[in-house]
Structure 1
């Protein structure tokens, strides 16, 4: 482990988080071709399988809206969630436990906040580029009913920050990657199934409905659905945004504390 004293760190020149973000961009430059195909293939298969396939068995749609059009915004938010968690779990864990990238960065003039912020920025970049591709594909299928669909981009960015920050803290805190698999099994998959992506949460029992409301995903789903359909959300826009911002506000200091615990002695 690299030992860095706080007093010594204060005398080092400041290097912005952009340097960390650029580090991940350099790595992405070598691998982006493999991800481009899946970025477009995933929404195509999902739209065809769920929207066209399953939607063909639903005569009335949902709330008078064609099932494909109702489903797409939920898929936008859930895809953003999955990309966020995938890029915030094993990459963060491996940077501590396996490849030791964070320790190398902390040995430079970078501060802990720069390391966390730069990596978070890259995760948000991945979310935005993935969802931009998703919007393009679903738009070609005629599943975006409103020009306000572009508003889903800042929504998924806020969702990404709300989820990535606490997951960064979790991935930095756990001692084995078995806990990362548990996060997917007991949090991400149930959240995706019951947070209004595939069916309205109003059809759930009261207890499960309020659990869905407590998840950050449901708030993003409601905002994305309002944007793509051109209707008002079920809850207030300000309430949704404040709730997601609260998750990010709590997750950021937790991530900083978890990173400092391992990087600063």
Structure 2
């Protein structure tokens, strides 16, 4: 089987890659930066430039991981009010990309779903039947994976499998746990505006305020998510995203938080932090 071409569209850049799913390797990989503010033509042009930077076969099936809100089945942006991609609101991205990339088919999926599928295919979730995958960064991304694919409906998962819609003590989950929430909590306590990596460093060094900020955020998050982990019957939670890079701080607090929420589950760091979404998009491109 030929390597599968994929795009992973993020907030600051696009990654294009050729993925060999059988060998679990990325054969070719290129990144194209995205401007902070861009119109529709500029954004689509950047996507096309990224796709053309890899040696994809003509008439290949492509997988494209992109943040929501998005109509993944139809390939149409639903980015009203989302500053970064608002220019793509209502745009048929599939119709724009297929001829430009000489693609036979393009299948879109949510970036958190791509991460989860990738960890199930080639990472920490291999061999597990039911897994919850979380990405911690700007917000809290999530996917509930059963036998390698996302579960998007039913009473065992939140709406669309997305935990960011949950609340804790009357506040949205991401008001407790996100980059902005952590920075705000530390600034309110100290008057200092530090980024997450610095707050993690202080917690690592035993700073009591920094430790309290992390504990409060992660206890709130696990209290909200824990019941859904139990309901789904997951035996593993895989955690990725930029904030998970401070795993020595985050990991033990997550384990304790899920235990306090009566969710008996192993909590592990993602194994394919940098390329799980690429493997997930490749698997999705050829999924039945």
TM over 0.5: same fold?
no
- Which structure features the higher share of helix residues? 1
- Which structure features the higher share of strand residues? 2
Identify the structure with bigger relative contact order (alpha carbons < 8 Å, sequence gap 6+).
Answer: 1
